[in-house]
Structure 1
Amino acid sequence: MDPQRCTRRDFSSSADASVESVDTGESQSEYCPCKMEMTIDQRREEREERAKRRARLKEEVNAIIKMSRTPLRDIVRDLVLPHLPVKTLLRFRAVSSEWKHLISPPIFRHFQSRTHRTASGIFRSLLPGVQGYFPFDPLAGGIPDPFLSFLPMSPPFAVIASSNGLLCCAAFRNLYFVCNPSTSEWARLPLPPEHLFLEEHAGFSVEALVFEPSLHNLEENYVLVRSYQIFDDISCVYGFQIFSSETRVWRTSSEVCATEKFIESSGVSAGGAAYWRTTMQTVVSYDPATDSCCAIPWPLGDDPDAEWQLGEINGRLCCTCVTDDAVQVYALAPPDQWDLLASIQIVAGEGEDDGEEGSAPPVFRRRPRPLRFQSREPEVLLWESERLVGLDIVSRRLREAYVAPDQPWISPYADYVPHISTFARVFPV
């Protein structure tokens, strides 16, 4: 036998033994079968994990291959059309009978109304009793009739509440209409019970519209909740009246809320419930599903100078509070606690520019005013110097729309109602 070959074999064997000793952290004399079994189990888990990754990758590749073989017409129908704004889809219906057939069915309109959950603009009064609409994007978020002249009533009337594409309009003596301004569909609600007609409170709006598009409900029922003062001589006791498009009748709740005056046109909906602000800086909620109400304090406690408004972000009730220094956004969490989502500087210093898209942090030249809002995205609405501003509290990006300047007769809050442009259907009552 060759001595050199023996030497190399011995050296290789000793090196392998040394490496094995280093890898295991112990000498061969300290060998433990339990630790060898753990190593085998770990290897088996690694093999199983690699097999799962390969299976997932195979599914993704098969999905890509299937998508590449899908006709372009089906891709446009399933992935493009439902995400287009209503104004564009209404124009596309005139392209051909096939496109009209794709866009007109209720199932398509229902799906499109679920994909659009971001504010398109706001309604506000141009003259007493005359409404106007101001979109962020006139091409994508515009509506055919911004003055709502399709409604079968003459001014004066007011847009008092909105929810996920639907508007509630009110005229004299509790005459209510629910409509979709993007499609000009409307329904006149029956009058509430006569014993609630109070002349001295005929112009007091304390309504909230609750509309939550359901995945499995094509009829898309909505609820109008009306809070009313029970006694003429006692201004701190309120009851609730509820109209449901499913039952098509009004009912009076047995719940009673003792609080100070509800703030006009502060009603919003979130998670299927109605909410209002009060003059004692509390939030009153009413849940039509459980027929229950409660009152909780607002987030900032004893700060008398902050302005605040309620809204909804992705199904959660939120509150925008504006102080001299910052915009603070809170979300309600159980049990009736406010979580701070963002605190953003609002006043620009000398030499600073206004917040443009992509800049951080956004700033304003003067203190803005919070508005009611509703969106699936983390966006709140603000009003500053004839500008409607949509502020994303995560990315700090801004959207802007020019709105006619304030008039002396316009109240600070009642004339600004957010709107989401969708194909949400309004069934006759």
Structure 2
Amino acid sequence: MDSGKNLNKFLAARNNRIYMDLKLIIREHALQFLPAKSLFKFQGVCRDWRLMISTPFFAHNQSLSFSSISGMFFQSPGDSPTFISLDPESCGVPDPGLNFLPVPVDILASSNGLLCCQAQTSERAYYICNPVTKQWKKLPKPSMEHGLEPAVVLIFKPSLLNFVAEYKLVCAFRSIDFDDATEFEIYSSKDNSWKVSGEINFAAKKLISKSGVSVNDVVYWQTAIGSILLFDMTKDRSQLIHGQYGVNGTLGEFNGKLCSTFINEHTLTISVISNIYSNTMQMGSRAKLWDDKIKIHLSSEMADAGSYDLFPVLFAGSEIVLICSGRNVYLCDVKTKQVKFLVTGPRAVRKAVPYVNSLVAL
């Protein structure tokens, strides 16, 4: 009888150790991979979790470990921003209208948890913020005039060695010295200053302001004439390449490469750039600039809510595509090729700014 009791005590102690080990594993190795909203909830689990989640070291690790698109910011002209979460239970922001900023703003760009906004006041100052932590920074005034609709791209890559976020803001602007030319100005958070590039592009003409994306230190913008302007940050060089989209398309990233996503005759096509130098090849070369990687048929019911010609592709990246039909927004899963209804907006939207639910600190 005694030996049986001892065996039960041994099993109970062993199970308790397994349970304790599991709690330690979750705390030390799993929590950092969760979105910010979930982590705020888990602060109520126990005192140890609350203390750990609130430390700058944990916030830094979470910004390195969590990179999934959590939702989209939408903003129609003259309206306050709104946020649509792809998973409302786990991802969200406490103030979608960004009222914690000192002035009303327009959202211009995003990158790995940070937003770039511009004041709606006459000053038109740039702000960088994290809508989860409500931390923000006002950038110094650029040395050049960027226009009323600046073509800016925010670049932030979380680094293991940098506890303070280091980011760059790249703006392509109309030259005041050369007609129809495009110049580039770059802000660096490391130097807290703007620098005008020596590169000037004479072929781009007019850019579509909110079309910019960054892939592997190269920034791309759509132009009004159907081509794509690229600016290589490393080489400080620009180039104009042939576009692969209609008026309803958008640029994005697919498997680490630039992609162009557009709709034609109820079919969503994702084309990936394959050879950026194909336009310099000799006559007769079979080298192609774009490869059609994925085609997804869209149901006719989607068109009932609006027209496919009304800027339907809002965002493409991280294996999802957002499509707008009238006021309805649909999410397309690139892996499964399934399309589902996401939300009905108060007004027709033309652009969605992706957001990662990160604890990154400014």
TM over 0.5: yes
Q: Does 1:417 align with 2:361?
A: no
Q: Does 1:370 align with 2:313?
A: yes
Distance 2:267 2:307 in 1: 9
- Listed one character per residue, the Cα deviations across residues 174-221 of structure 1 (whole Å, up to 9, x for unaligned) are 40001111221111111111xx237xx3x1221111112234433331
Aligned 8 A contact 1:136 1:400 in 2: no
Distance 1:108 1:342 in 2: 38
Deviation at 1:261, TM superposition (A): 0.2
Aligned equivalent of 1:308, options 249, 257, 268:
249
Q: Are the structure 2 counterparts of residues 306 and 212 from structure 1 closer, same or farther at C-alpha, using a change threshold of 3 Å?
A: same
Distance 1:315 1:204 in 2: 28
Secondary structure of the structure 1 residue equivalent to 2:154: strand
1:262-273 alignment, distance < 5 Å:
262-273=207-218
Deviation at 1:242, TM superposition (A): 0.3
Secondary structure of the structure 2 residue equivalent to 1:149: coil
- Listed one character per residue, the Cα deviations across residues 67-102 of structure 1 (whole Å, up to 9, x for unaligned) are 969812221123431222211212322444311222
1:14-413 alignment, distance < 5 Å:
71-125=21-75, 128-153=78-103, 155=104, 157-171=105-119, 172-193=122-143, 196-197=144-145, 201=147, 203-231=148-176, 234=179, 236-258=180-202, 259-299=204-244, 307-336=248-277, 337-348=289-300, 368=308, 369-375=312-318, 378-398=319-339, 400-406=341-347, 413=350
Distance 1:190 1:285 in 2: 25
Aligned 8 A contact 1:185 1:425 in 2: yes
Aligned 8 A contact 1:212 1:272 in 2: no
Deviation at 1:232, TM superposition (A): 7.1
Deviation at 1:293, TM superposition (A): 1.8
Q: Please, what is the CA RMSD of the aligned residues?
A: 2.6
Deviation at 1:115, TM superposition (A): 3.4
State the AA in 1 paired with 2:296. Answer: I
Distance 2:63 2:256 in 1: 15
Secondary structure of the structure 2 residue equivalent to 1:89: helix
Secondary structure of the structure 1 residue equivalent to 2:259: strand
State the AA in 1 paired with 2:129. Answer: C
Sequence identity (%): 30
Aligned 8 A contact 2:32 2:61 in 1: yes
Aligned 8 A contact 1:163 1:269 in 2: no
Aligned 8 A contact 2:329 2:345 in 1: no
Count how many residue pairs are aligned between Structure 1 and Structure 2. 328
Deviation at 1:343, TM superposition (A): 0.9
State the AA in 1 paired with 2:332. Answer: L
Q: Are the structure 2 counterparts of residues 147 and 306 from structure 1 closer, same or farther at C-alpha, using a change threshold of 3 Å?
A: closer
Distance 1:239 1:98 in 2: 52
The structure where strand makes up a greater share of residues is 2
State the AA in 2 paired with 1:318. Answer: C
Point out where structure 2 has 5 or more consecutive residues left out of the alignment. 1-16, 278-288
Distance 1:389 1:98 in 2: 41
The structure where helix makes up a greater share of residues is 1
TM-score normalized by structure 2? 0.82
Aligned 8 A contact 1:242 1:288 in 2: no
Q: Are the structure 2 counterparts of residues 174 and 238 from structure 1 closer, same or farther at C-alpha, using a change threshold of 3 Å?
A: farther
Deviation at 1:126, TM superposition (A): 5.3
Distance 1:262 1:74 in 2: 52
Deviation at 1:335, TM superposition (A): 3.3
Q: Are the structure 2 counterparts of residues 306 and 327 from structure 1 closer, same or farther at C-alpha, using a change threshold of 3 Å?
A: farther
Distance 2:52 2:152 in 1: 36
Aligned 8 A contact 1:112 1:423 in 2: yes
Distance 1:307 1:72 in 2: 49
Deviation at 1:270, TM superposition (A): 1.9
Aligned 8 A contact 1:87 1:142 in 2: yes
TM-score normalized by structure 1? 0.70
